[in-house]
Each structure stands twice: as structure tokens, then as C-alpha cells.
Amino acid sequence: MKKALGILLLTMLALPLAAQTDRKELRAGNRKFAKGKWAEAELDYRRGLLKDSLSVPGAYNLASALYRQEDYDGALKAFENRDELAEGTPHAAAWYYNKGDAAIAKKDWRGAVDALRECLLLTPGDMDAKENYLYAKEMLRREQQQQQGGGGDQNQQDQQQNQDNNQDQDQNQDQNQDQQQQNQNQDQDQNQDQQQQQGQEPQMTPQQAKQMLRAVQAKEQETQEKVKKEKAALLKSRQKEKNW
């Protein structure tokens, strides 16, 4: 189920009326949001924020509309400087969840980790938030590792050269193996033809048995890799699409 998918827009927050965005603007934006008119909804939310710049529901809904238009910078900006106000509402967890998701979309891994941690502190049992948090944390670790491991252009060139050399060696080995295998297959075919001519039933050689076993194992490995890739793609899709 998509979390905070726009129609979990913050229209019913328990805030004093004086501190809320004008409900007329908010309701108008929500009606347009429900019809998929993201840009028009954005205008209504912005009008509401002009009347109350500290409105949590107005900022939350504006971020939702901007996210739907793939304006992730704008979505994150809508969340800025309002965390303390959001913490006093029943929707604080959803606020941090969506803020973290916008940060993930922008590849702001540190921002995503911080926001999703706050979400989990409020709702420790939210498995979706936990998955997104672990994803962002892993991406942050990789980013930091790349930054720390950048030893200069020369190191990168040396590493690339080593990789190229290894690939060349592997290619030569593969060619030699292919040639040897071709010769062996030719000898085996000749032996089988001789056996058939002599009225004997062709027998599988140990080499052929090993080849069949390797082929079966390779097929199994290929299937396993395909399943892993499909699971990874599904996780990525869920991470991007479920939140608003």
C-alpha cells in the first residue's frame, strides 16, 4: 500500500485554526491532487502558504505535489525549517517518511538516513520505513567509501590498467580453452561415429559428463542471478513509488 499517497494529505491536523493554512486553499488543492493535476494543486498549496508560511499541512501537501512532478529539490525545500512544527502533530512519522523518500529520490543519502531514523523512532514497527532506511544507509556507506578510497587519477588509471590486463588474460585463456574444447569435441565425434559404424552404442565419456554437469550448474546460476535482479528491481520500485 502506498504510504502518504497524496490523499493522506494533512487536512485534519490537530492545530489551532489560526496556525492552519486557509482550508479553502487546502481543500481546493486536494481535489486537484486527487485528479492527478499536480501543477494546479501546487498553485493552491502555495497560495495557502502565502497566508500561513508555517503551515505543516500546506508544506506537506506542497511537497507531495512537487514530488509527483519529480521536483525533488522543491519537495525537500518545502520540508525545510518545519520539522519542529511537524513533531507536534499526529502525522509526524509520515512527515519524516516522505521527507526521507524525497531525499532518496535526490540521492541525498545523509538527509534520507536522518529523516527515516526520525520516522522509525516514532513508528519502530514500520517495515517500509525500515527498508528505506537500510537502503539509504547502505548507499551512504558506499558513497563515503568511494570518497575515502579516491586516491587520485593515477590510482584509478592503474586500477583500470590492471583490470584491462586481467580481462585480456581471461580472454586469451577463454580462447585457448575454446580451441582445446573444439579439438576434444572433434575427437569425441569421430569416436562416436566409429562406434556407430561398428554397431556399438555410443558411450558418454567422463569429459562429456563434466560438460553436462557444468552446463546444468551454469543454468542454475543464471536462474538464481535473474531472481536476485528481479528482487532488487522490485525493492527499488517499491522504494520510489509507495510513499506519496
Structural domains in the chain (count): 2
DSSP letter (8 states) at residue 20: S
pLDDT digits (tens, 9 = 90+) for 128-175: 999 999 999 999 999 999 988 765 445 554 555 555 555 555 555 555
The full DSSP string for 147-201 is: HHH---HHHHHHHHHHHHHHHHHHHHHHHHHHHHHHHHHHHHHHHHHHHHHTTPP
In 3D, which of 46, 110, 101, 47 has the Cα closest to residue 78?
A: 46
Residues 109-119, mean pLDDT to the nearest whole number: 95
Tell me, yes or no, whether 219 lies in a domain: no
Q: Are 111 and 63 found together in one domain?
A: no
Q: Which three cell numbers, joined as nine digits, stand for 79?
A: 520540508
Domain with 96, as residue range(s), is 91-147+236-244
152 occurs within a structural domain: no
pTM over 0.75: no
- Residue ending a domain, choose from 89, 112, 137: 89
- Show which of 89, 104, 121 is a domain's final residue: 89
237 pLDDT above the threshold of 50: no
23 and 142 within one domain: no
Confidence of residue 187 (pLDDT cuts 50, 70, 90): low
Residue 63 and residue 119 in one domain: no
Q: Is residue 166 part of a domain?
A: no
In a domain, 70, yes or no: yes
- Alpha-carbon distances of 105 from 2, 112, 154, 214, rounded to whole Å: 16, 9, 33, 42
Residue 70 has which C-alpha cell? Answer: 519529480
* pLDDT, tens only, 57-96: 999 999 999 999 999 999 999 999 899 999 888 999 999 9
Residues 38 and 22 grouped into a single domain: yes
59 and 28 part of one domain: yes
3-state class (DSSP) for residue 89: coil
Instruction: Please tell me the predicted confidence (pLDDT) of residue 230.
Output: 64
143 and 240 part of one domain: yes
In this structure, the answer to whether residues 23 and 125 fall within a common structural domain is no
**Residue 222 pLDDT greater than 80, yes or no:** no
Same domain as 95, residue 85? no
b/e per residue 40-61 (b: at least 16 CB within 10 A): ebbbbbebbbeebeebbbbbbb
pLDDT at 214 over 90: no
Q: Is 108 found in the same domain as 55? A: no
What percentage of the chain exceeds 90 in pLDDT?
44
Is 57 found in the same domain as 111?
no
Pull the grid cell for residue 89. 502533530
Please tell me the predicted confidence (pLDDT) of residue 81.
86
Are 24 and 69 in a shared domain? yes
Residues 96 and 34 in one domain: no
Inside any domain, residue 217: no
